[in-house]
Amino acid sequence: MIKKYITVLFIVCTFVAQNIYGIIPNRDSEIYFDYESAEFSKMETLKTWVKTSYHKNTQIMSTIQHFVATMLPQFPYSEEIKFISDDEEPNQFFGSTDYTIKDFELPFLQFVHEISTNKEVTTLEIAAADGYISFKVPLAFEKGGKHYVNELSSKLIKNFDENVDRVYSSIPQKEKLYNSIVKIPGDCFDILNKHPELKGKVDAIYIQHLVHFFNPEKQQLFLKLIEELLAPGGQAFICFNSPDFADTVIYKKSVDTVLSLYNKQKESGDKYPGFVQHDKHFIGFIDDNDEYRVVIIYRSNVIRPKDNTNINEIEIKDTTSSPYPLNDYEKICYEKTCSRFIYRRVINNFTPESYSNLIKDFPTLQVKDAFYINYDNGIRIDAWKHRSVVAVIIKKAGDICKQD
């Protein structure tokens, strides 16, 4: 009975904290998370992209602030890393939803808000997942517009309305927000087949963690699609994985073969030096805290595959319950029973420079900016580091038309 009382009290306190004080209790430390402590969810930051007429409505701004905060890496209940299960169709591989990447997402929302002060805008998110970015876009429209939402996973597109409703249900004139969203389920390469009216009409496109799933052949087709979709002066914001050069640091007797191949292919003029196939070796063991750990040891059989090779990951060997001494983990594997796993991966990752070079094949497109971002906090950084992502902002030649 006491336990039930405490649970109910906790729920009530959480509700009060969420809706009155803009703070959330941390499950682990039992402290409160202040929305104003993170730059992206500060009220002043929100006002740089949220529709001006909402600014003086405390209820609306508090609701927006809460849901913006739930995807921040600083937020204790963050919904980051929700793995997306594959559909039944073959050759469809899905990753996960992710934290807000502040220094990538914020410029996109600010750009949408800026251009929407002069016209009804047309925007598009490709690979929208659960809609944690797309729900924000209509909130930035000053003069209205249409936001198109594309997602390949049929399971996620079914959840989209529910997730958007969590935000819009308490906002006046919510029907206008709902009506501004147009869903385009299915393959992004079918967007113009389904909506030919979008050709040359999209003012802003957002793509997060998608293009590294494309081999070189599909990557060229994808950039052609972006060129066809963008309106003159329109911009595409593209974020993706950077090359994974750091796996072999702990394996001190091995050189980083992925980095070596990358440099070799780059020097030879390969447009896709980060397109790599390799075998990734792991060990699994029970640590001193009786928790199961999986550690990446090294990579082998590193090659540059053909351009039409599909991006994938398959297990090629699983030697379970066998001692397997491996350099730095030699003592662990002598003292404990280890499992060994080997996965063959085909990946296509980029640096800001290598992706920018691809844009040169499309004369109407130009790179406005390209940079690394620290994935753990969403902040722009000057050079590559482990767990970094790449952001590239592309602009189409011309100027965005204004409406009287």
Neighbours of 194 (CB within 10 A): 13
Nearest to 106 by CA among 187, 175, 47: 47
Running DSSP on this structure, what letter comes out for residue 331?
H
* Most confident option among 15-19, 119-123, 251-255, 317-321: 119-123
Question: pLDDT by residue (tens digit) across 174-186?
Answer: 888 999 999 999 9
Amino acid 94: pLDDT? 47
CA atoms within 13 A on the CB side of 157: 19
Per-residue pLDDT at 16 exceeds 60 = no
- Return d(Cα 63, Cα 35) in angstroms, integer: 12
Q: How confident is the model at residue 253 (pLDDT cuts 50, 70, 90)?
A: very low
Amino acid 318: pLDDT? 54
- Residue count of the chain, please give it: 404
**In the structure encoding, which two tokens stand for residue 269, read together?**
């003029």
**In the structure encoding, which two tokens stand for residue 201, read together?**
């009409």
Amino acid 283: pLDDT? 77
% the chain with pLDDT above 70:
77
Question: pLDDT by residue (tens digit) across 302-332?
Answer: 999 999 999 988 888 655 444 444 455 545 5
Hey, CA dihedral for 97, 354, 369, 403, is it positive or negative? negative
Enumerate domains of the chain plus CATH numbers. Answer: 2-69 (no CATH), 102-242+352-396 (3.40.50.150), 249-257+268-348 (no CATH)
Question: pLDDT by residue (tens digit) across 102-142?
Answer: 999 999 999 999 999 999 999 999 998 878 899 999 999 99
Q: How confident is the model at residue 83 (pLDDT cuts 50, 70, 90)?
A: very low
Residues 190-196: contacts with CB within 8 Å, 24+ apart?
A: 191/124, 191/126, 191/148, 191/150, 191/225, 191/229, 192/225, 192/228, 192/229, 195/148
Please list the helix, strand and coil fractions of the chain in percent, rounded to the nearest 5, in that order: 35, 25, 35
Strand spans (E) along 20-172: 23-25, 32-34, 121-126, 145-151
What mean pLDDT, rounded, does the chain reach? 81
8 Å CB contact between 130 and 156: yes
Residues 4-9: contacts with CB within 8 Å, 24+ apart?
A: none
The structure's pTM equals 0.84
Nearest to 33 by CA among 84, 68, 5: 68
Question: pLDDT by residue (tens digit) across 337-375?
Answer: 677 788 899 999 999 999 999 999 999 999 999 999 998
Nearest to 219 by CA among 345, 122, 357, 99: 357
Amino acid 331: pLDDT? 53
8 Å CB contact between 104 and 391: yes
Q: Where do we find the tokens 């739930």? A: 70
- Return d(Cα 365, Cα 224) in angstroms, integer: 10
Q: Phi/psi at 385 (nearest 5 deg)?
A: -145, 165
Q: How confident is the model at residue 196 (pLDDT cuts 50, 70, 90)?
A: very high
